Amino acid sequence: MCESGDTVRYASILFILILFLASARAQELKSASEYSQRAIARFKSNDLDGAIADFTKVIEMNGERLQFCYYFRGLAHYRKGNHDLAIADLTKAIDIKPDPRFFDDRGNLLAQKGELDRALADLNKAIELAPVFAKAFADRGIVRLMRGDDANAEMDFRKSFELDPTLETQFRAAANKIKQRAVSSYGHEKPPDVEIGKFSWSEAPSKVLTHSSPTIAVTTSAVSATGTRVLANPNEKGQPGPPELSDPSGSSAPSAREPSTNTRDVVDYKFNVLIKNTGKKTITAVKWAYFFESKDFSHEPLAYLFVSKTNIAPGKEKTLNDMIAPNTSHGPIKMPHKNNLTLFNERVAILRVDYADGTFWESPAPVVQKPADRSNSSHR
């Protein structure tokens, strides 16, 4: 009986082996077209090594539409984290056919490596080849923002979102992140004639209008009560953190200071800092930022940026203050919470000081930060 059981078991194994060999023979590919089809299937299933091997085989066999073989093999290298190999393959694809998508993706990768001039050239070419390519305008806006060309970056964003409104949330968030990092790298040098004293933030009851009212135009973020742009970057969902802005719309925020009979109660957040003028010139304006920085570096540093018009004579001091309403026409803005502030260090930095005689002091420009990948390509 045991012998009979062994026979059945071995027969089953043999049957499985026969099926496997038959399947293997069925998978034997002969033409470049067959390798190309399997390469795409492997790419879609995220079998990146298999896809790279098959695309390479098609290239060796001199198959058809090789530009797409190089393109998709480049994207597979990109997914594996091999940026240089990805850029090399996209370059070969471009050499065969100058497709605007190839230029856009290569420009994106070059920007991630910090090669902004080459990235800008690629994105310019993508737009030249396809003047209604919405994503190329948005990508170029990001690169221009990294180069400090805010005005032209905003023009690119507006054009992109006119062509494809679905891109706005994604790219506004990316732009806010770059601006946030830029602001966060400011403030390690200070003007020689200004001393920073006490600083703090607090909550205060307020009212906002519930119907239309005059607006303050902004570009990429919410505004304070004085119309100053406020920069911040959303933390990942579920992560504790300091002030966040969830409104990347970049259009406008309502003024909450106009009289109206239709109002509702909210909480405003007030920020203040004591500034002492130790120099010999009267200070007329101060650009300052209130920072929340992660103690263990597990969260992105965040900052609120303000510009205060003032008049501080030599030897005098004054408390500068501004506020942010956490509710705008585009939704609520997440603000500080006392229960998680132990995770962060707070500091204030002076970014610019204007004097009555027309001169000014300004903090050195921040180091350009590489952007995170923001491609929305369906192939990635």
Q: Residue range 92-105: average pLDDT?
A: 95
When mean pLDDT is compared across 9-23, 29-43, 193-207, 236-250, the lowest value belongs to 236-250
The answer to whether 154 touches 219, Cβ cutoff 8 Å, is: yes
Choose from 123-137, 169-183, 205-219 the range with maximum mean pLDDT.
Answer: 123-137
Nearest-angstrom CA–CA distance, 246 and 169: 10
Residue 365: how many other CB atoms lie within 10 Å: 10
User: In the predicted model, is pLDDT for residue 267 greater than 60?
Assistant: yes
Relative orientation angle of helices 116-129 and 134-146, to the nearest 10 degrees: 160
The answer to whether 280 touches 314, Cβ cutoff 8 Å, is: yes
Query: Higher model confidence: residue 145 or residue 255?
Result: 145
Q: What's the pTM value of the predicted model, to 2 decimals?
A: 0.54
Nearest-angstrom CA–CA distance, 33 and 37: 6
Query: Higher model confidence: residue 149 or residue 179?
Result: 149
150 pLDDT band, cuts 50/70/90, is: confident
Q: Residue range 115-136: average pLDDT?
A: 96
Domain ranges of the chain: 32-182, 191-362
User: In the predicted model, is pLDDT for residue 5 greater than 90?
Assistant: no
Angle at 330 between CA 327 and CA 336, to 5 degrees: 35
Nearest-angstrom CA–CA distance, 239 and 300: 11
pLDDT, residue 269, reads 79
% of the chain surpassing 90 pLDDT: 44
Q: Looking at domain 32-182, which CATH architecture does it have?
A: Alpha Horseshoe (1.25)
When mean pLDDT is compared across 149-153, 196-200, 309-313, 366-370, the lowest value belongs to 366-370
Q: In this predicted model, what pLDDT tens digit does every residue of 334-379 receive, in sequence order?
A: 455 666 667 778 888 898 999 999 999 988 765 444 455 554 444 4
Q: In this predicted model, what pLDDT tens digit does every residue of 271-285 receive, in sequence order?
A: 999 999 999 999 999
Q: In this predicted model, what pLDDT tens digit does every residue of 38-69 receive, in sequence order?
A: 999 999 999 999 999 999 999 999 888 899 99
